[in-house]
Structure 1
Amino acid sequence: MSGTDRAADWWATGITDIAPGSIRLRGYAIQDLIGSVSFSELVWLMVRGELPTSAEAELLELTLVAAVDHGPQAPSIAAARMAASCGLDLNNAMATGVNLLGDVHGGAGQQCLEVLHQLRATTDDGVAPEQAARDLVADHKARKAFVPGFGHRFHPRDPRRDPLIGAVRQAAEAGTVSGEYLRLALALEEVLAEGTKPVPMNVDGATATIHAELGFAPELARGLFVLSRSVGLLAHSWEQRNEPTRIKGPLPKSVIPTYTGPPPRDLP
């Protein structure tokens, strides 16, 4: 192998084929894709390697729309707005928000998808979905851990849950998806509704159900959430850039954070 060949293989990829005057994504010429496929179809093609059916693309698009934004009370949005108020360019402000999306804020979709895979493995061993869900909830309670994808700190019932679950239910009835993960997610929700305070599914649980039905890996679920939330980050960063307030911190200037250290004292 020549030195040139070794250099060409350094970033070998099966995604994009570039040559002078030619751009191909997964083998398809970009000029053929433009105007022929939707953005959600292109996302699927890029991460999965093949084009989805129109029904699969519609389901994926629902998840991308649902997770776009949750206002400045979401830490990622607030951070992006603070960054924009400090004069950072849009890409820097957006990156500030994206970098806040981790396991605690932004990771529940991936975590819920992992839970659904765990339940699927249990039911494949012969355990009924309801019992598998009951055992999983009992385990989380024993560890004092939240079941990811259920409950919301702001919404008594997440308004995004019903349209997403309704769509995946219709897709299961039409044969677009198997409905296996939908049954598991609903079994979990039923068990969590048995307590004194029901814990309904939230947007992360609903999107995880769709991602599971569509065959996306858990890590891709988080990446898709970041992709969706980036739209909100862009909108809020742009809005903040066009407001006169500079160096906008997490609290109004008139509000001083509560001090909890030692009282005033003199140096010895």
Structure 2
Amino acid sequence: MADPVYETALGASTRDRITLLGQDLAEDVMGTVGFGELAFWLATQRRPSPGETRVFEAVLAALADHGFTPTAIVTRLTYLSAPDSVQGALAAGLLGGGSRFLGVTEDCGRFLHAVLSEVDTLPDDDGGWDALALETVEECRAQKRFLPGLGHHVHKDGDPRTPRLFAIADEEGLRGPHLELFAAIGRVHPRVLGKTLPLNGAGVCGAALADLGLPLELLRGFALLARTAGLIGQLAEELRHPVANDIFLSVDLNNRSVPPDPHA
């Protein structure tokens, strides 16, 4: 009985050659294709245009690091506890990419796509987009559903990543329906919510990735790809200027014992 054959368009090796995406890895990819371009290519199995690469890499830059977030803190603390396991420290940080941090990228992309998939004809001007956005926000409010991509715990007056990513997408002619709807939500939501919330960076990244045609199921993966670089940076800084032990001791030396609360 013949051995099974497993086909792949990704990496494959012979004794003297490695191919990747139909290219000779050593001759055609290494030193020629940038990592962001390659990541896009691997996910879609089509080579991105220069404009698509620029938008995609802008998203990666936007999501790489955002200070002492829970993902950064847990990475540093895990490295403090197990300095022999860099992979464990990085994994600990990446496992924290969920609905509050990083996961918003996927949540927003999926949300916008779900709205657009129910529309027979897309709007062709701001008035039409605003009407669709208003209907969307009102429906979410009526159903008491969370609107992903709105609000930020630090950037109360506007996330600086958001207008920049819109501008880059505009410059490259890649402002598609997901970004249009997201922008419209930003314009109309105060009428429904009674307050103005910023469109956050994670949300606009999700809209941009969806407009690039990347798989919705993998949007969180791209956020994690970006944050991996940031967490490596966090570990590199921890080696030079350690703070993890101070974080640990600030909790360990400042806790107090209280009686059990079985009704909490």
TM class, shorter-length: 0.7 to 0.9
Closer, same or farther: CA 54–160 of 1 in aligned 2, 3 Å:
same
Q: Per-residue displacement from partner, 1:98-138 (whole Å, max 9, x unpaired)? A: 11112333211111111211222233257743232222212
Deviation at 1:27, TM superposition (A): 0.7
Q: C-alpha distance in 1, partners of 2:153/2:243?
A: 31
Deviation at 1:83, TM superposition (A): 0.2
Q: C-alpha distance in 2, partners of 1:135/1:109?
A: 22
Deviation at 1:193, TM superposition (A): 3.3
Deviation at 1:68, TM superposition (A): 0.6
Q: Which residue of 2 aligns with 1:190?
A: 187
Q: Percent identity?
A: 26
Deviation at 1:170, TM superposition (A): 2.1
Structure 2 counterpart SS, 1:200: coil
What TM-score does the superposition give when structure 1 sets the normalisation length? 0.85
Q: C-alpha distance in 2, partners of 1:159/1:103?
A: 21
Deviation at 1:252, TM superposition (A): 3.7
Deviation at 1:254, TM superposition (A): 3.4
User: Of residues 53, 72, 85 in structure 1, which corresponds to 2:49?
Assistant: 53
Q: Which residue of 1 aligns with 2:8?
A: 13
Structure 2: stretches of 5+ with no match in the other structure: none
Between 1:93-102 and 1:129-138, the stretch displaced more is 129-138
The answer to whether 1:170 aligns with 2:171 is yes
Deviation at 1:260, TM superposition (A): 6.2
Q: Per-residue displacement from partner, 1:49-89 (whole Å, max 9, x unpaired)? A: 121111110110000001011112x1111110110111332
Map 1:123-162 to 2 at 5 A.
Answer: 123-124=119-120, 128-156=128-156, 157-162=158-163
Q: C-alpha distance in 2, partners of 1:143/1:259?
A: 39
The alignment of Structure 1 onto Structure 2 pairs a total of residues equal to: 253
What TM-score does the superposition give when structure 2 sets the normalisation length? 0.86
Amino acid at match of 2:143: R
Q: Which residue of 2 aligns with 1:226?
A: 224
Between 1:105-114 and 1:250-259, the stretch displaced more is 250-259
Structure 1 counterpart SS, 2:18: strand
Structure 1: stretches of 5+ with no match in the other structure: 263-268
User: Of residues 177, 180, 192 in structure 2, which corresponds to 1:180?
Assistant: 177
Amino acid at match of 1:189: G
Closer, same or farther: CA 203–126 of 1 in aligned 2, 3 Å:
closer
User: Of residues 62, 74, 78 in structure 2, which corresponds to 1:79?
Assistant: 74
Structure 2 counterpart SS, 1:193: helix
Closer, same or farther: CA 45–135 of 1 in aligned 2, 3 Å:
same
Closer, same or farther: CA 66–178 of 1 in aligned 2, 3 Å:
closer
Say whether the 8 Å CA contact 1:133–1:184 is kept in structure 2: yes
Closer, same or farther: CA 258–121 of 1 in aligned 2, 3 Å:
farther
Deviation at 1:258, TM superposition (A): 7.4
Closer, same or farther: CA 55–75 of 1 in aligned 2, 3 Å:
same
> Once superposed, what is the RMSD of the aligned Cα atoms?
2.4
Deviation at 1:244, TM superposition (A): 7.9
The answer to whether 1:29 aligns with 2:24 is yes
Between 1:53-62 and 1:81-90, the stretch displaced more is 81-90
Q: C-alpha distance in 1, partners of 2:179/2:57?
A: 18
Between 1:85-94 and 1:239-248, the stretch displaced more is 239-248
Say whether the 8 Å CA contact 1:189–1:201 is kept in structure 2: yes
Closer, same or farther: CA 220–198 of 1 in aligned 2, 3 Å:
same
Deviation at 1:13, TM superposition (A): 2.4
Between 1:111-120 and 1:244-253, the stretch displaced more is 244-253
